[in-house]
Structure 1
Amino acid sequence: MWFKHLHLYRVHDAPTLSDNDLSAALDEQAFRPLGSVEARRMGWSAPAGRGSQQRLHEIQGHRLMSALRQERLLPASVVKEEMESRAAEREEAEGRPLRRQEKQALKEEIYEEFLPRAFVRTQRIDLWWDTQRHLIGINASSRKRAEDVLDLLRQTLGSLKVTPLATRATPMRAMTEWLSDPEKRPATLALGDQVELKAVSGDESVLRGRQIDLDGEEIQTALETGRQATRLAFTIDESLSLVLTDDLALKTLRFADALIDEASQADDGDDPVLRLETDFALMTQALSRTIEQLIEWLGGEATPASPTP
């Protein structure tokens, strides 16, 4: 259940829905497996897995939903290779080169023929909705996947106005200061061992370091040349380790052993739903504290841009 990544969004004027109404809306957009001629599909599934039909879990204002995304993996190179082979055969048989429109039609024909035989990849993406703080966090590896889930939620609710969470000080500026000047680091922030430094002029090359001393001479020399931090690993208050990116995404989340132990020692009677809700409650408490701390360190929340309906 524990999130690995988090993309954060501020919710504006959210529709007022009871848990029952939201559950019914999720049921209407429930996931169905891909048809033989479909390239991709997304819908809502039960966060607790196959043993549950419950698509919404709500604990003290924190809502958990899970989207399931399926897509057929048909590499463009496979279609292109087959198209070129068939085109060559036709050109030889007809004694003339095929026109562009004919090759495009042949390509589409091959795509439709190969699609039902393509491998299917299934991906689950969890969504956390903090209704008290008007915040949505999506456990997705990329911003694109997070936006896909938001689109599904908009379709489910009819409308939803959100903007990416933004702060007055940019993460890039703050992370660069924390690296270059230890006096400006928050007291409860401990540097990790990963960093990404980008040149802001010239070739805009990127210097990436892993398992490296971030206070070492190599990093400090790079900062002195004008590079700025676009990713930085650190731990907050010894409770949560993460990699912060320049677009305020939280990557590679690692929760403290004490928190994981607390969750594992909870009496859930081997009930998967109760286990899920226990983990979710403890996780969201830790994430809420972390997000509030980050917003404070970054100068407070910025005035949001026009929300996306």
Structure 2
Amino acid sequence: MWFKHLHLYRLHDAPELDADSLETALGEQAFRPLGGSEARRLGWSAPAGRAGTQLLHELQGQRLITALRQERILPASVVREEVEERSEAIETREGRKLPRKEKLAIKEEVYEELLPRAFVRSQKVDLWWDNRRQLIAVNASSRKRAEELLDLLRETLGSLKVTPLASQTLPMRAMTTWLGDPSERPADLVLGDQVELKAKGDDGVLRARQVDLDSDEIQQLLESGRQASKLALSIEGRLSFVLHDDLAIKSLRFDDALIDEASQTDDGDDALVRLETDFILMTQALAESIERLIEWLGGEAGSAGDARSA
């Protein structure tokens, strides 16, 4: 249940839906297995998996929704090899060079034939909707996957206006300042041991792991003009993470004390109770940490453009 990554969005004019209405809406876009000729499909699935059928879990104003994504894995190299074999056979048999148009037609034919036999990869993606703070967070490793989920939610609700959460101070500027000047670091912020430094010119990106971020080498790189585009941080007693320059939060690890608190809660061996207990403890920690992070970054910025909507 514990999220690994967060892409954060501000909700604008959020639709007023009670839990029952939202459950019904999600059911209309529930996941259905891939058809034989389909390359991919996305739909809502029960967050508890086989342990439950609810598509929505809502506790204390916090909503948990899960999407299931399936896609067929058909490597381009496999298609290319089959196209080449068929093209060569035709060229040998007919004694002519196939034009590009005919090869493209063969490629489409090969793709349609092989797709139903391709392996299917399934992936669950969780979405946390903070109905009290009007925030949405998607537990996805990439922004593209997060946006895909928002598109599904928009289709489900008929309308959804969101913008990526933004701060007054750019994360890259703040991270570079924290890295270069310990006196500028918030009291309960602790540097980790991972950083990505970007050069202003064409000198590329320097990545370092398991290093002392207060070392002379790191300081020299900053003095040369490099800026921190990713930085490992931790909030004492809460969690550790890697902050990215687009305000994405990745590689989340929750404090042992929080995990222990969750594990010591009596769930009666009920998987649904365990899911909801973990979810509410996790969201409490995340909500407080996000508020603190935005405060460190000078507060939340206004809308960085018109909210995306259907």
Which amino acid is the alignment partner of residue 213 of structure 2? Answer: L
2:247 is aligned with 1:272: no
Which amino acid is the alignment partner of residue 236 of structure 2? Answer: D
Cα offset for 1:142? 0.4
Matches within 5 A, 1:93-242: 93-201=93-201, 203-242=202-241
How many residues are aligned here?
A: 308
Cα offset for 1:204? 4.2
Cα offset for 1:200? 1.4
TM-score by length of 1: 0.99
Q: 2:287 matched to which residue of 1? A: 288
Contact 2:237 2:257 (C-alpha < 8 Å) held by counterparts: no
Matches within 5 A, 1:245-264: 245-264=244-263
Which amino acid is the alignment partner of residue 86 of structure 1? Answer: R
CA distance in 1, matches of 2:162, 2:297: 20
Q: 1:41 matched to which residue of 2? A: 41
Which amino acid is the alignment partner of residue 215 of structure 2? Answer: G
Matches within 5 A, 1:30-69: 30-69=30-69
TM-score by length of 2: 0.98
Q: Deviations over 1:102-137 (max 9, x none)?
A: 110100000001101111100000000001100000
Q: 1:8 matched to which residue of 2? A: 8
CA distance in 2, matches of 1:2, 1:96: 60
CA distance in 2, matches of 1:261, 1:167: 32
Cα offset for 1:238? 3.0
CA distance in 2, matches of 1:116, 1:205: 42
SS across alignment from 1:274: helix
Q: 1:72 matched to which residue of 2? A: 72
Q: 1:297 matched to which residue of 2? A: 296
Which amino acid is the alignment partner of residue 140 of structure 2? Answer: A
| Residue segments in structure 1 that go unaligned for 5+ positions in a row | none
Cα offset for 1:237? 2.2
SS across alignment from 1:270: coil
SS across alignment from 2:295: helix
| Residue segments in structure 2 that go unaligned for 5+ positions in a row | none
CA distance in 2, matches of 1:263, 1:238: 15
Contact 2:66 2:124 (C-alpha < 8 Å) held by counterparts: yes
Identity of aligned residues (%): 69
Which amino acid is the alignment partner of residue 171 of structure 2? Answer: P
Q: Deviations over 1:61-114 (max 9, x none)?
A: 100000000000011121112111111110111111111111101000000011
CA distance in 2, matches of 1:194, 1:55: 37
RMSD: 0.7
Q: Deviations over 1:244-289 (max 9, x none)?
A: 0000000000000100010011111111111000000000000001
SS across alignment from 1:81: helix
